[in-house]
């Protein structure tokens, strides 16, 4: 390809010079066009050869033969053609940095629920998108400026001869377009780790389509405009076409390049021109707007990290544009069908306090009372996670509907801390998510300072009033504690002048002043939790929701955070969920224990202990001698132990629950309460005789109340579901019994001696996940007359009513 051809001259005689022409017939790409060697080389050469032969033969006096070497006329090969050829790939590669970073940041924010946290604290979607756009606009502006300046610095004709504004605008609009394209793609990706793969795939596809564009497709009159429209939707193709135009315009040092005024005109020698630089600008601006609008649209209709999305035609709802409604959300993917939900039957609470609370709230709801002393009024809140059938490629995934909240009626008062307790899966987080607007409610409503959580206007007012510390820390690893607080203070709308002092105060409160400038990614678990608590309290919210705030804190820090929470009660309501009974006991003004989506009991800690605890706990400590040994030797102490045990057995009919050399612990049921006064008076009188050093009497712990309530809920649930369990007797025989059954008659054991037959008492416990399991059974005994028996069944266990499959083995490990 280096030699276009050759001429062979043969001088036959004085009047005949013959010649032969040899040409390279491969079309060569010159200045973006494939030149036909016959017309561009062979014919001009033939004419020239014949003309010169004629001049020689006719004896032209100016003609002479000279032997010299001269380059055949050809278009200039300058560095500009490198920009036209390699430029598209090179500048696409530069834009891919921003593209991958953008996709990965957006997805990380979704994946780590950072965006959800900001929305919960009052961030508007418009502010979210426009803040990203502003930031990316600035970065793109700088990078485009640097690209052009570097191009000029390295003396590329492409950058020197074309107008600065023309080249700069091209790079700026292209990079902005790629960012907007990244916004749109991020709606479809749920894992940040996929962003590099997506970026690389886009680069490969872009490289190939740009290559095709450089060869002239489809920006020439040979192709229909439909091809051009489709091709121009992909930003790298527009870049390739623009670079081609601009490099052609500076192909020789004499070419003037494209000036700002000529941006909408074709090059004079370009007969096949179908697109100008100005057209490319218009395409870049239009596709930028298209990707951006699509990004917002897909972001709304594709389920977020909580599985919530808007309807596909949400934008047709006038309320969406006026801000009055139109924020109705749905659950499940676009390609999923929601199965029918079993109706929720109304169950009157068994507990008198819960019933009373329910009646008070219902009365207030009927009469439309908005009590100024109430921060939250929950009116029959129901949440059913719908069962869905998701159809994706070659897969059909079904989930069953689940009643997570079954009509919650409760008030949370101002200046009080309400503690929501309950075993895992009780529905606490669901209740909180409903209050903060993360999850749509199925039925019922809740009013926070009078604003309904079901109205979009109400919800945007609520977001200004609440502060939330979610169950899991939602923090940016790259931001410092101070920056986090600054950001959330801004989202909360604090005046910029006060933000600095508020942030400093907040950092001091949670003892993070020294770590204020450290990245949150390097914080310990406890520090992160403290920062989350500080975020929840920033901006003086009137309702603070703390979902397990002290998880992972050491005891010293925990106590410190308890102090912060205690101080924060003034002037606001706090809702706290925790698994620490000590925390609930210390901080709560009222406690509600939930299980299986229902409120099971409500009241102060003392009330719950006295109503649901097994009774009183009495600790008896024995005197010890100076050397730490029991006062009068082991034998004597054992006698004293026995005497005390006898004393408790005789008067109160209780056995010790725990015992060792220095103390005895008894649990005294509530029904013996009447005997306690005299009993302890006598025990105190005989302290010396029994060698007692100290007598303590207290109510049972909140933990015990919690365990009792949880077990009771499991039993009720098992009875409703009608689940069956297999009880294996010590004799080796096994029978099917309803889950939770206590006294079980063994079939076929009736005899003359035991006319009612034999029975066992089954002991039920809860395993680590809180599910009931059989821990054992009593020895087989004749069935007493008064006992209400469960008759075993041989039926196989069936699925529960809501379709969740139950465990097959019911024996505790």
Ligand X SMILES: Nc1ncnc2c1ncn2[C@@H]1O[C@H](COP(=O)(O)OP(=O)(O)OP(=O)(O)O)[C@@H](O)[C@H]1O
Chain contacts with ligand X (rule: CB under 6 A): 307, 385, 402, 404, 422, 424-430, 471
Distance CA 803, CA 138 (A): 54
| Residue 259 vs 399, nearer CB to ligand X | 399
Cβ-in-10-Å burial (0-12, 13-18, 19+) of 522 comes to: exposed
| Residue 174 vs 385, nearer CB to ligand X | 385
| Residue 434 vs 735, nearer CB to ligand X | 434
| Residue 120 vs 258, nearer CB to ligand X | 120
| Residue 337 vs 370, nearer CB to ligand X | 337
Q: For residues 491 and 118, is the Cβ–Cβ distance under 8 A? A: yes
| Residue 120 vs 507, nearer CB to ligand X | 120
Q: Which residues have CB under 8 Å from 2's CB, separation 6+?
A: none
| Residue 429 vs 442, nearer CB to ligand X | 429
DSSP conformation letters of 701-730 = PHHHHHHHHHHHHHHHHHHHHT-EEEEEPT
Q: Enumerate the β-bridge partners of residue 17.
A: 11
Q: What is the DSSP letter of 552?
A: T
Provide, rounded to whole angstroms, the least separation between the CB of residue 762 and ligand X. Answer: 26
Distance CA 711, CA 104 (A): 45
Provide, rounded to whole angstroms, the least separation between the CB of residue 343 and ligand X. Answer: 18
Residue whose C-alpha is closest to residue 423's, from 718, 805, 708: 708
Provide, rounded to whole angstroms, the least separation between the CB of residue 192 and ligand X. Answer: 21
| Residue 579 vs 742, nearer CB to ligand X | 579
| Residue 75 vs 303, nearer CB to ligand X | 303
Rounded (10°) CA dihedral 418, 424, 430, 432 = 30
| Residue 381 vs 692, nearer CB to ligand X | 381
80-111 and 125-153 helices cross at what angle (nearest 10)? 160
Provide, rounded to whole angstroms, the least separation between the CB of residue 115 and ligand X. Answer: 17
- CA angle, 695 then 701 then 705, to 5°: 145
Provide, rounded to whole angstroms, the least separation between the CB of residue 404 and ligand X. Answer: 4
| Residue 507 vs 710, nearer CB to ligand X | 710
Q: For residues 811 and 729, is the Cβ–Cβ distance under 8 A? A: no
Q: For residues 761 and 742, is the Cβ–Cβ distance under 8 A? A: yes
> Rounded to 5 degrees, what are φ and ψ at 583?
-60, -45
Provide, rounded to whole angstroms, the least separation between the CB of residue 534 and ligand X. Answer: 22
Distance CA 558, CA 705 (A): 23
> Rounded to 5 degrees, what are φ and ψ at 6?
-150, 155
Residue whose C-alpha is closest to residue 53's, from 96, 5, 88, 21: 21
| Residue 140 vs 388, nearer CB to ligand X | 388
Compute the chain's Rg from CA coordinates: 41
| Residue 379 vs 403, nearer CB to ligand X | 403
Provide, rounded to whole angstroms, the least separation between the CB of residue 594 and ligand X. Answer: 7
608: left (phi over 0), alpha (psi -120 to 50) or beta: alpha
Distance CA 188, CA 388 (A): 20
Provide, rounded to whole angstroms, the least separation between the CB of residue 472 and ligand X. Answer: 10
Provide, rounded to whole angstroms, the least separation between the CB of residue 422 and ligand X. Answer: 5
Cis peptide, bond prior to residue 218, ω within 30 of zero: yes
CB burial string 433-463: b at 16+ within 10 A, e below: bbbbbbbbbbebbbbbbebbbbebebbebbb
Distance CA 804, CA 461 (A): 38
Distance CA 91, CA 84 (A): 11
Provide, rounded to whole angstroms, the least separation between the CB of residue 738 and ligand X. Answer: 22
Q: Which residues have CB under 8 Å from 71's CB, separation 6+?
A: none
Provide, rounded to whole angstroms, the least separation between the CB of residue 630 and ligand X. Answer: 44
Cβ-in-10-Å burial (0-12, 13-18, 19+) of 344 comes to: middle
CB burial string 21-53: b at 16+ within 10 A, e below: eebeeeebeebbbebebeebbbeebeeebeebb
| Residue 223 vs 472, nearer CB to ligand X | 472
Distance CA 445, CA 263 (A): 60
Distance CA 93, CA 648 (A): 84
Other CB atoms closer than 10 Å to residue 627's CB: what's the count? 5
| Residue 430 vs 550, nearer CB to ligand X | 430
525-537 and 555-568 helices cross at what angle (nearest 10)? 0
Provide, rounded to whole angstroms, the least separation between the CB of residue 388 and ligand X. Answer: 9
Provide, rounded to whole angstroms, the least separation between the CB of residue 613 and ligand X. Answer: 22
Provide, rounded to whole angstroms, the least separation between the CB of residue 385 and ligand X. Answer: 3
| Residue 146 vs 347, nearer CB to ligand X | 347
Q: What is the DSSP letter of 778?
A: P
Reading the block at residue 755, the tokens are: 């006319």
Provide, rounded to whole angstroms, the least separation between the CB of residue 190 and ligand X. Answer: 15
Provide, rounded to whole angstroms, the least separation between the CB of residue 336 and ligand X. Answer: 12
């Amino acid at each position: 390809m280096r030699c276009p051809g050759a001429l062979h001259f043969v001088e036959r005689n004085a009047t005949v010079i013959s010649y032969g022409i040899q040409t390279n017939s491969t079309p060569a790409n010159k200045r973006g066009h494939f030149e036909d060697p016959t017309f561009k080389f062979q014919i001009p050469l033939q004419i020239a050869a014949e003309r010169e032969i004629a001049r020689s033969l006719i004896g032209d006096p100016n003609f002479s033969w000279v032997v010299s070497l001269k380059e055949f006329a050809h278009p200039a090969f300058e560095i500009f053609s490198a920009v036209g050829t390699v430029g598209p790939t090179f500048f696409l590669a530069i834009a891919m940095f921003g593209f991958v970073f953008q996709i990965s940041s957006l997805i990380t924010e979704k994946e780590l629920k950072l965006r959800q946290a900001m929305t919960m604290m009052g961030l508007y979607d418009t502010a979210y998108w426009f803040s990203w756009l502003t930031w990316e606009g600035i970065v793109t502006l700088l990078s485009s400026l640097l690209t052009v300046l570097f191009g000029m610095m390295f003396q590329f004709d492409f950058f020197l001869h074309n107008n600065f504004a023309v080249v700069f605008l091209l790079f700026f609009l292209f990079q902005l377009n790629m960012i907007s394209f990244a916004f749109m793609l991020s709606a479809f990706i749920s894992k940040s780790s996929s962003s590099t793969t997506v970026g690389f795939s886009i680069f490969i596809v872009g490289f190939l389509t740009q290559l095709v564009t450089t060869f002239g497709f489809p920006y020439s009159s040979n192709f229909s405009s439909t091809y051009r429209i489709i091709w121009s939707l992909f930003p790298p193709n527009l870049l390739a076409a623009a670079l081609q135009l601009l490099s052609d315009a500076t192909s020789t040092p004499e070419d003037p390049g494209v000036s700002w005024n000529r941006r909408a005109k074709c090059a004079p020698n370009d007969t096949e021109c179908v697109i100008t630089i100005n057209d490319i600008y218009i395409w870049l601006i239009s596709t930028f707007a298209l990707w951006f609008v699509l990004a917002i649209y897909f972001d709304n209709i594709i389920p977020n990290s909580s599985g919530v999305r808007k309807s596909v035609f949400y934008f047709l709802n006038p309320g969406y544009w006026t801000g009055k409604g139109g924020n109705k959300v749905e659950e499940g993917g676009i390609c999923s069908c929601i199965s029918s939900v079993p109706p929720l039957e109304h169950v009157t609470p068994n507990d008198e306090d819960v019933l009373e609370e329910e009646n008070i709230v219902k009365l207030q709801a009927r009469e439309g009372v908005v009590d100024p002393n109430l921060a939250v009024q929950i009116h029959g809140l129901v949440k059913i996670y719908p069962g869905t059938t998701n159809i994706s490629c070659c897969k059909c995934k079904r989930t069953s509907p689940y009643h997570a909240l079954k009509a919650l009626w409760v008030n949370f008062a101002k200046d009080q801390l309400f503690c929501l307790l309950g075993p895992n899966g009780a529905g606490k987080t669901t209740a909180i998510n409903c209050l903060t607007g993360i999850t749509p409610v199925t039925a019922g409503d809740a009013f926070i300072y009078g604003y309904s959580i079901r109205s979009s206007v109400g919800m945007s007012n609520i977001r200004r009033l609440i502060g939330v510390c979610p169950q899991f820390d939602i923090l940016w690893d790259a931001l410092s504690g101070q920056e986090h607080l600054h950001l959330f203070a801004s989202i909360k709308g604090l005046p910029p002048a006060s933000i600095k002092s508020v942030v400093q105060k907040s950092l001091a409160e949670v003892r993070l002043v020294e770590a204020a400038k450290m990245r949150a990614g390097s914080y310990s678990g406890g520090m992160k939790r403290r920062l989350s608590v500080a975020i929840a309290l920033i901006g003086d919210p009137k309702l603070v929701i703390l979902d397990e705030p002290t998880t992972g804190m050491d005891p010293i820090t925990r106590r410190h955070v308890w102090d912060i929470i205690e101080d924060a009660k003034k002037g606001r309501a706090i809702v706290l969920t925790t698994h620490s009974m000590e925390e609930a006991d210390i901080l709560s003004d009222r406690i509600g224990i939930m299980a299986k989506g229902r409120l099971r009991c409500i009241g102060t800690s003392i009330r719950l202990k006295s109503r649901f605890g097994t009774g009183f706990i009495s600790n008896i400590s024995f005197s010890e001698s100076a050397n730490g040994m029991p006062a009068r030797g082991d034998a004597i102490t054992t006698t004293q132990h026995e005497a005390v045990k006898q004393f408790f057995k005789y008067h109160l009919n209780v056995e010790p629950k725990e015992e060792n050399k220095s103390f005895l612990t008894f649990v005294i049921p509530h029904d013996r309460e009447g005997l306690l006064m005299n009993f302890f008076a006598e025990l105190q009188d005989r302290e010396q005789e029994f060698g007692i050093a100290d007598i303590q009497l207290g109510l049972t712990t909140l933990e015990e109340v919690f365990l009792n309530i949880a077990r009771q809920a499991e039993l009720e649930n098992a009875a409703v579901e009608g689940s069956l369990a297999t009880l294996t007797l010590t004799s080796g025989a096994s029978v099917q019994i309803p889950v939770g059954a206590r006294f079980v008659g063994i079939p076929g054991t009736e005899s003359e001696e035991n006319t009612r037959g034999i029975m066992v008492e089954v002991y039920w416990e809860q395993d680590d996940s809180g599910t009931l399991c059989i821990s054992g059974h009593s020895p087989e005994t004749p069935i007493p007359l008064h006992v209400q028996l469960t008759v075993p069944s041989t039926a196989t266990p069936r699925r529960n009513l809501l379709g969740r499959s139950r465990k097959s083995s019911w024996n505790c490990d």
